[in-house]
Structures are given as structure tokens and as C-alpha cells.
Amino acid sequence: MNRRAPKKRYPPAPLPGGDSALINRQIGKYELMRKLGSGFSSTVYLAHDPFTQRDVAIKIASPDVLRDPDKGRIYSQLFLNEASLVGKLNHPHIVQIYDAVVSETACYIVMEYIAGGTLERHASPSQLLPVDRVVELIFKCTRALEFAHRLDITHRDIKPANILMTSERDIKIGDFGAALTGLSRIAQVGAIGSPAYMSPEQVQELPLDHRTDIYSLGVVLFQLLTGHLPFQAEDQADLVYRIAHEAAPRAASLRPDLPPALDAIVARAMAKEREQRYQNWQDLAQDLANTVLLGLLPNARHDFPESERFHILRTLPFFTDFSDAELWEVLRFAQWRRVAPGDLVLHEGDPGNAFSFVAAGQLTVSKGDTPLDVLCHGDCFGEMAVLNRQVSTRSADVIALTESDIVTISGKALEQASDACRLHFYQGFIDVLVNRLNIANQRLAGA
């Protein structure tokens, strides 16, 4: 089969010299288009994969660094480390690693290309994001890092430059080259990571666990809220000493209008002693979500921010077996609305091809003048219109008794969901129907 060569859509850029693999602006099967950035040990290019017909980012190791007698082994190991994660970090808020080559003639990592820049540009006093937006983005970071932790992966280099923005309210965490994994705990010490974001145990070269990432994310949260780092110094030695021995300032000391609850979250995440920090990602995520749920943030949106939506779905029994990735998928196609007492949610005889969940409040179900049931938090209704395609009309009225939050999913959206997500929905429907049957049998037995 003939495959047309992809069009080059960007002007050519100079490539690093001395590497014959790059002479024709191609490495492996990938066509290099332009340089995105460079650092001490590598250069990142925008490239095109002619087989999948998608743009990718390729991080290419600097040949000079790899040949360095002192640092070459360390940076080769970092590339091997990241290469070992190909296909493992499948999460909506983690940059995907598609491919990797680590050999004597070529050393590169092929990743998902994110065009939106990083959080680094919002870490200065003049470019701060709204507080509720910061909370939402950091909440998503906690979900991604908890996912990595469940795979026994500690990132070890969390900073704004490694958190990429896919939109104004969405992020992906990248650069797992410095990560510690359960299979390889080598290189826990040494100059790995960014000193300003390191935990006290990391700068002291002590054994690390996920709580070092919790500390680093706390520093990122501090900086995104205040525009300043908690510790600053004229040289690295002084910075390391301050991180290891001095108490971090409170974020509210630099920004007095911060809600006390949020200031407390930052302080706990950055506690100098590991035992005083958040001990797991779930507790940190819960506290961040509560600042939204309890209305503690200034100028927060009155609709449903994604952090709140995720938390709501996670608390519904129907979604207990859904993975984080599947819940984020549900967030993409679910419709959210708030109804007032007395509002008609479903009308008997009306056509319909959607089902709903009660996220908050109470609703009554009736047929004619006969009340049938009261729906409360977590209850599912309307699913028969999706399960029974022969009957596409509503069989009862559903009316709000109190102000209620409703999550609705259309049958069409469900059909387009991933296989794993759709399977969990049908398993949940079976549980709902079995539970209703048991309740009906109990009522008959007591009649």
C-alpha cells in the first residue's frame, strides 16, 4: 500500500550536530519538523509519525552528555527509566509515552505532543490564575500522581515546567525521567530534580516515597497562588539548607486574601516532617475538592467545576468500580444541571434516550396520582429507555422535592464510550435492577 508522505507544516530548524541519525531531519520513522526546546541533557522536537498520522514530541539525548565520563551513565539511566514506562501511564492527566529507543547510536523518547505550554507562565505575580482555577488544576494533578503511585511510581521532579496545559482548565503531567519505580530504585540520590521544589528528605538525599511528590506539588500550589517560591536563596547550598532546616512561610503571609482552608492545605502538603504531611493523595484531593463543595473559594464558578464533578461521581456507589481514567471519560459526556423544588425532571409518556443520577437532593417518582418512590443521593433513574430499545417513552413522572443536582447521560454518548467504560455501566445497571427486584420482593413479603 502506498502511503503519501506527510506535508511539512513548519519551517526547518537546525538540528544538533555530530549525530548522523539526524542528518536527513529524521530519526527512526519520525520526521522532525522544528525544535520545541532544549536543556542540558536533551533537545525536544516536534515530529510527525507517518504511520499513525499524528504529531508527537521527541526528546533526543545530547550526544555530548551521553559521552561524558561522569554524567553519561546517569543520564543514560534516566532515559532508560523513562523508556521503561512506555504504554504504562495511561491516564487523562499524564503525557503519554508512545515509543523509546535507547542504544549506542540513538537515544530518544517519543511522547504525546501538548501545544498549550506549561504552568510555568502562571507562576509569577503578574500572571496568576484565579484561585478556583488553580485548585481545579492541582486537583487533577493529585489524581494523576495517585494513579502513578498505584503503579509504584514516584515522579520526583514535580514543578510547573513539567505540568503541561491542554486547555485553560486541563493539564497533563510529563517528564517521568527522574521517576522512582518499584522495579528500579536506583539513583535515589544525587542531582536529580529541581532544588527549589525538592522536599527536605530529597535535598538531604534520604530514601523517598510518594510523600516527596506531595511536598513538591505543595510548592507548586504555593507558587501558583502567590507568584513566589517558599524558599529563595542566592546560591544552591543556601537554598538546600533552608529547605532542610527552616519552616516554610504560610502562603497567606504573601497573599492575605487566601481562604484559611486553602492556606492550611498548602501548609500541610509542605510540612517539613513527612509524618505531618498528607499521607496519601486521596486525602489531599478530598480537601481540595471540599474547598469547592463547601463554597470556600472567592469568585468560584456557580456551575460544576471538574474537580467537584469528579468528587461527586467518585462518591456515587454506581461508580465504585470505575477507574479514574473512566471517571474522567464520563465527565467528558455527562450533562450536569441543578433543578428547583417542583421542577418536572421526567414526564410520563415523553420520548427519551437518556438516564440520570441524583447527585444531591430528593426527587419523587409517581405514575398518575400514585406515588411510587423517592430518589435520593446516588439513585439511578431512566435507564430502561437505554436498556429496552423497544420502549422509548418514560413510564412515570419524576419531580424534584428539593433543590437537586442531576447528572444525565444520553444513550448515544454511552454507545460512543470506551469498551471498558461501557461495560462498567452495564454492570452497574444490573446491580440497580437486582437491587430493585430485592426491594420489590421484600415489599411483597411484608404485604
- State the catalytic residues: 157
Dihedral, 197, 199, 201, 203 alpha carbons, nearest 10: 20
Contacts with 161 (C-beta within 8 Å, 6 or more apart), sequence order: 118, 119, 120, 194
**Spatial contact of 212 and 228, defined as CB atoms under 8 Å apart:** no
